[in-house]
Amino acid sequence: MVDARRMEVYAQVFDAEGRPQSEVSAEVVDAGSFAAFRGLGRPFVIFGSGARKCAGILSDAVCVEVTPSARGLAWLAQQALDEGRTEDIAYFEPFYLKDFVVTTSRKKLF
């Protein structure tokens, strides 16, 4: 769960074996958020930079404090390199989840 803005987070749900149970999505957090996954009779664990803002709202969820580190990505990078999966960074387009919308400022500078 990644903190976005106000009460919004970017999140994806995984099972205990690490298999994705949902797509990455932007979620506005309220008491009904992730209800389909929280009511299954097993612990619902949230972690990431957006978990702290959800802990008070999702009272039945277990909040785990995690400090992100690039060290955890090293084995994934090595595995991709061993399999020959690389990116041409000159033409790589990152996954932003939402389209970028240009707006004009309402503040007058002069």
Q: Which two tokens stand for residue 74?
A: 């090293």
Q: Output the pLDDT for position 100.
A: 67
Q: Output the pLDDT for position 3.
A: 86
Q: Which two tokens stand for residue 30?
A: 């309220």
Amino acid at 46: I
Please state whether the predicted TM-score (pTM) of the whole model is above 0.75.
no
**Rounded (5°) CA angle 80-86-89:** 140
Smallest Cα–Cα separation from 87: which of 97, 77, 96?
77
Tell me the pairing of strands 2-3 and 8-11: antiparallel
Torsion of Cα atoms, 9 then 15 then 21 then 25, to 10°: 10
Residues 13-28 have pLDDT tens digits of 998 888 999 999 888 9
CA atoms within 13 A on the CB side of 8: 8
Residues 77-105 have pLDDT tens digits of 999 999 999 988 888 888 787 776 777 77
Higher pLDDT, 70 or 39: 70
